Amino acid sequence: MFYPNWLCWAFFTEGWGLFFSEEPFNLTVLFSSALLWQYLVGGVSVTGLLWSALWVVAVRRYLAGGLCTSTARLTGQTVVITGANVGIGKETARDLLRRGAHVILACRSFSKAEEARRSLLGEGGKVEVRLLDLSSLQSVRDFAAGLVKDNIKVHILINNAGVFMCPYMETQEGFEMQMGTNHLGHFLLTNLLLPQMKQHGEPARIINVSSTACLGGKIDLDDLFQKKKPYDALQSYSNSKLANVLFTRRLAHLLRGTKIQVFALHPGSVVSSATRHVMSSTFFKDYVISLALKTTLEGAQTTVYCATEAQQHSEMYFSDCAVGWAPDASKDERLAEDLWKLSAQLVKLDEEKHPPCKSVLDVNAKDAFHRHHVQAGGCVYVRHVTRAIAIFSRSLHPNWLCWAFFTEGWGLFFSEELYNLSVLFSAALLWQYLVGGVSVTGVLWSALWVVAVRRYLAGGLCTSTARLTGQTVVITGANVGIGKETARDLLRRGAHVILACRSLPKAEEARRSLLGEGGKVEVRLLDLSSLQSVRDFAAGLVKDNIKVHILINNAGALMLISLVMTLKYRSSSTTQVR
């Protein structure tokens, strides 16, 4: 969801008709809230109205994400969409019907699917319903056999259906429900339809709807269904979504040289019926939380994009109608192959008709350098910064929900935050002045808001009073930044701190600035980019009989991608990226 496709020209120039037709409710509610805020802080003005309108549209346009503007027609093509009676699946069906496609709604509830079919009549194309329960492998086999029997040529298969964070349940075959439905059901369905899709010889597409939750996924081939550990619904969902991407990668490898393209995608954060196990339909969910998320139509855009004009990419992962960032785990070719084999065994896929393929050779550093710097179109640095933003966003832990967050650490906070608070408060006052004038109420609200935002961003503050007298602490990279501040705090607790740094002059300067904090501070040379330096440092501690009580591995290099890849490229040909 954080991929910067909004930097492209098309984001600012296309899709506005679709956006405004979909967003009247959200825009109205947010604009009304902005007017109320203005009224409370200082009065409504024309300037304030214009700024509020611009801000509300900009925020909702960003949250809506990429919008598919393809005009491609699908006349004469058959599309199978699983779970298409509600939500993203239904909106995908609606769009593809308008393009002239023959759409088959593959759903487990025939009555709900029939109701959806009736609501889609008149959109164009042809729509029909077929029964498919992905939690039953027999149902999957019956569905595929029905298509083959009726000689239906499938051009686009959209594996959209999914179960989200349900309590522990099992499929008819005894598999954990989320992995069994989200991955194994679609794995079997795809494999049963593949021979027919290859046979008709026309261009075809297979689209697996994954989720950004795959970033937290872990595939344990020895415990695929989490039976050896306490059941975690979110972890199970994340695992199944990672399995979707791994399945996509392996499938793309097997289909090289054919006319079938394969995609996995993240549709975006959407409140839909899929969240029924987590949150029931309430006013808060339907009308408040939804203001910060995509609508179902907006959530369907990347699926439509992959079904119409997207081209298969080595990332195997799309988001917001553009190539997204797949998790590193999904790029493990060996894991993808092993998961394929295990899945084939579990669903009892005919090994003679679907033989396992040879392993994919590891890619050497030269190939990796070319892929990252040439195929990325020169945008490698923007992409790495963007990925860092995504990782940062996933690191936000809700520790502010605990009582200690609100009651402790305020002295440290205010002593550290004077500059930031002053700048933000001044900016808030300037904003009030521009939109309607400064008032006492506005000043108070601004002060509260600025403190709340900075306190949240500051995160958890350590309020421990523990002493470390008599203990020795080694901190790498402690001459600047976090390492230096860590050293300062531990010295105040009476520790003996060793600054392990690669630059003795800078480390000595840091040592002098830390004198008087308490404890004892010394400097020792350590260059972590040299294994000999690491050995010499460790040998020195042992020789001097220094007992290390706390080792803090703090030093690091950030985003030296070009340097690292260049070094690997210039090294021996046996070096490989893994």
> Looking at the annotation, which residues are catalytic?
237
Q: b/e string for 261-282 if b means 16 or more Cβ within 10 A? A: bbbbbbbbebbbebbeeeeeee
R_g of the chain computed on alpha carbons: 28
Backbone φ and ψ for 115, nearest 5 degrees, come out as -60, -45
Smallest CA-to-CA distance from 158 within 269, 77, 250, 37 is with 77
Strands across the sheet with 472-476, in order?
520-525, 496-501, 472-476, 550-552
For residue 517, give both structure tokens.
């904090």
For residue 447, give both structure tokens.
């002060």
CB of 160 closer than 8 Å to CB of 106:
no
Number of neighbouring beta carbons within 10 Å of residue 471: 17
Tell me the one-letter amino acid at 167. Answer: P
Distances (CA, A) of 195 to 181, 316, 336: 22, 22, 21
CB of 525 closer than 8 Å to CB of 533:
yes
Pairwise CA distance, residues 279 & 296, whole Å: 17
CA angle 143, 148, 153 (to 5 degrees): 110
Beta-bridge partners for 445? none
Query: Any idea what DSSP says for residue 247?
Result: H
Distances (CA, A) of 483 to 248, 512, 555: 42, 15, 8
Smallest CA-to-CA distance from 246 within 132, 326, 152, 308 is with 326
Sign of torsion over alpha carbons 203, 209, 213, 216: negative
CB of 272 closer than 8 Å to CB of 86:
yes
